Amino acid sequence: MTEGPVVGPAKLSGNGCILRVEPRAEGWEIAFASEPRTSPQPLWFHLEAGDLAGAPVEFVWENPDICLGNPGELASLRPVLKSDHESWRRCDAVRLVEHEDGRKSLCFSHEGGANRVSAAFCFPYGPPHLEATLADTGDVWERCVIGVTTGGRPLPRLRLRGDHSESRAGLYLSARQHSGESPGSWVLDGILRFLADDSDEARQIGRLLDVWVCPFVDLDGVVEGNYGKDALPWDFNRAWEPMPMRSAVHAIMADLRRFRERTSSRLLVDLHGPGHSTPGVYVQLPRAERPELQMQGAQEFASDLADSFPELHAIACAHETNYASRWNKLATIASWAWDTLGETQAVSVETSYQRLVDEPLYPDDYRRIGRRVLRAAHAWLQRREEE
Ligand SMILES: [Zn+2]
């Protein structure tokens, strides 16, 4: 091996500062760090190594201990790998290296046999993935543009095709207010695919609900590979001020007002990913400062979620929100929807980057989680319609 591999951030959702590319007795060592980009604290990475000529690679992630999540849980992380010939998969194992000065590195390997290998923190999901799903689901999802991002990209919104002559219960789904939180998109992908199914359950839910979807709130961040949590100049999920502080939020606020006018009862489900190692699926409850009725509605949704996930202890489906915030901690989509759209309930649903309980999650697992989140939303709205 005379010439080294070509290594850098991936073209789509790429992120990763390359620190070293060095030959090993067998193959290469590629050391990198997650780039914070617009966020104070990093996490997301997605890089590619080309011209490997079949050589094995050990990726050395050099800054996992300052990434968002519990640094005591680093050994439980399972980043994902993809080579020429395979789809994305979890690495089987990681090796945690504790340096003498206290820094920690996390190493994971690809066994070789490929010319190009990609590594990411979790399964990437961007506009091409959505296009593939929409191609698979025929004409079930109507698509329109509700705004243009700061970076000049059309901001899409989908709506489940159906008879809109009478208002029905409405479900508004959104993902990627924090652009690196790809589990939210895989969960949403499961919902998009499920509602296009020919099953009795899908048809029944489709008859009851008018479903609107904003798949990428921070579309620029998704495409560019930003992590996006607490993103400067203003976190997307703290930009829901009376005067919105992000152009996408401004556009979605207008869309939510249209949604309100066309629906009889409403639920917003905003899909996220938590800290790097947190397991499970759960609702991030409203803060204690928020109205009691909003808290009750969120707890009720958490209870529906717990019914849908019997393998999780019910208590684990609701997490209190009391962590520090860099922004106005009450300027979230949930506060705005409650205060501005006539006490419309919005819930933040967090899905692990890693696992529900034990087994590492794969895209199809996330899609199945999506169906179960949809069942919880359906149950919640069905009660509202019966009231
Ligand atoms: Zn988030």
- pLDDT per position as a tens digit, 324-362: 888 888 999 999 999 999 999 999 999 999 999 999 999
* Cβ atoms within 10 Å of 85's Cβ, excluding its own: 9
Q: How far is the CA of 15 from the centre of ligand 1 (A)?
A: 18
- Residue 272 CA to ligand 1 centre (angstroms): 4
Report CA(94)–ligand 1 centroid distance (Å): 25
Ramachandran quadrant class, 225 (left: phi over 0; alpha: psi -120 to 50; beta: rest): left
What is this structure's pTM?
A: 0.97
pLDDT of residue 387: 83
Q: What pLDDT digit, counting tens, does each position of 141-151 carry?
A: 999 999 999 99
Question: What is the C-alpha separation between 60 and 47, in angstroms, rounded?
Answer: 12
CATH superfamily of 127-386: Zn peptidases (3.40.630.10)
Question: What mean pLDDT comes out for the span 297-307?
Answer: 96
Centre of ligand 1 to C-alpha 67, Å, is 14
Nearest to 230 by CA among 347, 68, 90: 68
How far apart CA 110 and CA 95 sit, in angstroms, is 13
Give per-residue pLDDT as tens, 63-95: 999 999 999 999 999 999 999 889 999 999 999
Q: Which pLDDT tens digit goes with each residue over 167-216?
A: 999 999 999 999 999 999 999 999 999 999 989 999 999 999 999 999 99
Distance 113 CA to ligand 1 centre (A): 36
CA–centroid distance, 5 to ligand 1, in Å, is: 34
Task: Round to whole Å and give the CA distance between 214 and 217.
Answer: 6
**pLDDT at residue number 85:** 81
378 CA distance to ligand 1 middle (Å) = 23
Q: Residue 273 Cα, ligand 1 centroid: separation in angstroms?
A: 5
Mean confidence (pLDDT) of the chain: 96
Q: How far is the CA of 274 from the centre of ligand 1 (A)?
A: 6
Band (314; pLDDT cuts 50, 70, 90): confident
For ligand 1, the distance from its centroid to the CA atom of residue 240, given in whole angstroms, is: 14
Cα 270 to ligand 1 centre (Å): 9
Tell me the sheet residues that pair with 261: none
How far away, in angstroms, is 133 Cα from ligand 1 center? 23
Task: Say if residue 1's pLDDT is above 80.
Answer: no
User: Are 35 and 19 a contacting pair, CB within 8 Å?
Assistant: no
Question: Do 58 and 109 form a contact (C-beta atoms < 8 A)?
Answer: yes
Q: Ligand 1 centroid to 1 CA: how many Å? A: 43
Nearest alpha carbon to residue 208 among 263, 256, 169: 169
Residue 13 — φ and ψ, nearest 5°? 60, 30
User: Could you tell me the distance, in angstroms and rounded to a whole number, from the CA of residue 178 to the centre of ligand 1?
Assistant: 5
The third-level CATH classification (topology) of the domain covering 6-120 is Immunoglobulin-like (2.60.40)
Alpha helix ranges (H) inside 34-145 = 127-136
Where do you find CATH 2.60.40.3120 in the chain?
A: 6-120
Distance 175 CA to ligand 1 centre (A): 9
Centroid of ligand 1 to alpha carbon of 276 (angstroms): 11
Distance 229 CA to ligand 1 centre (A): 6
Query: Ligand 1: distance of its center to the CA of 85 in Å?
Result: 32
pLDDT, position 2: 54
- Distance from Cα 126 to the centre of ligand 1, integer Å: 16
* Residue 275 Cα to ligand 1 middle (Å): 9
Q: Where in the sequence of the chain do the CATH 3.40.630.10 domains occur?
A: 127-386
**Residue 115 alpha carbon to ligand 1 centre in Å:** 34
